[in-house]
Structure 1
């Protein structure tokens, strides 16, 4: 985990995961994190959601290849439907995690300045300091979706560890 950039003022009570269309990366992070929160018995204390910076797929299920990869890990994404980021999300969520630098820039461009501190790169919580962006698997093959699944799973584990550490300090 990268340290200074990920310092939060308080334990987040709500987290929004964001990618471009909300059909691959962010719904996967949503589903994986939700699954891990239940295993860690933290699911009642943190509200989570996912959204896209674009409104291309509003109302759709996550990509079938992403759902297949998640199913292989015992995680269902069937309850998640794509939606676009809303202006109110910046007020409602304590932590907004962008899947890549383009999503991060798009969010910063539409977020009120006094709330921009809530926006971080998802991979700020990764052990892979060299990575900035979760690759978009949409135009690739199943291996790309499986790689994204592994990267998101590991990063969500780190995010939960970080939240537990914050709990210990509060």
Structure 2
């Protein structure tokens, strides 16, 4: 199975979520090696760049190194069977749905909704904010991530 987290530019929300998921899945014996994680952005503005320094700092404060990630744009090849595409917000979801309308994917949903968190289901974009905004996003990712791990256990029979 492949989990792909998508946001607008792939330098804030999706790299933090990818880092969280990658680290947690690696520490979960029943899931490790069974799930590939990745992230992408809708736009191409940051392709090849590392995550925003505030995202790197926030993840590092929680013991996760995302500094080696590089932004990339969502591609047609991302829409394939076995891929669960989890979007940061409703706008990202709508654009991803348009791009992959003819594709076969395991799912295309908002990340927080798929995780089973209570609304709001949109993960706020912290780009225009400060450290507190990035930390608030991290806390939402952390809560969603724990629920996602539980759901993956159930769905994969792990």
CA contact (8 A) 1:16 1:93 kept: no
CA contact (8 A) 1:108 1:116 kept: no
Indicate the residue corresponding to 1:104 in structure 2.
93
* 1:160 and 2:158 matched: no
Tell me, in whole angstroms, the C-alpha distance in 2 between the residues paired with 1:97 and 1:53: 13
The equivalent position to 2:126 in structure 1, one of 137, 152, 155, is: 137
- Aligned to 2:57, the other structure's residue is in SS state helix
For normalisation by structure 1, the TM-score amounts to 0.87
Tell me, in whole angstroms, the C-alpha distance in 1 between the residues paired with 2:103 and 2:48: 30
Indicate the residue corresponding to 1:66 in structure 2.
55
- Cα offset for 1:150? 0.8
The answer for unaligned runs of 5 or more in structure 1 is 1-12
Query: CA RMSD of the aligned region, Å?
Result: 1.6
Tell me, in whole angstroms, the C-alpha distance in 1 between the residues paired with 2:151 and 2:95: 26
* 1:14 and 2:2 matched: yes
The answer for unaligned runs of 5 or more in structure 2 is none
CA contact (8 A) 1:22 1:82 kept: yes
Moved beyond 3 Å, runs of 4+: 125-128
Indicate the residue corresponding to 2:108 in structure 1.
119
In the TM superposition, what whole-angstrom CA distance separates every residue of 1:41-91 from its partner, at most 9, and x where no partner exists? 223111111000011100000000011111110000012100000001001
Tell me, in whole angstroms, the C-alpha distance in 2 between the residues paired with 1:128 and 1:114: 27
- Aligned to 2:62, the other structure's residue is in SS state coil
For normalisation by structure 2, the TM-score amounts to 0.93
- Cα offset for 1:126? 4.1
Change (3 A) 1:87 1:81: same
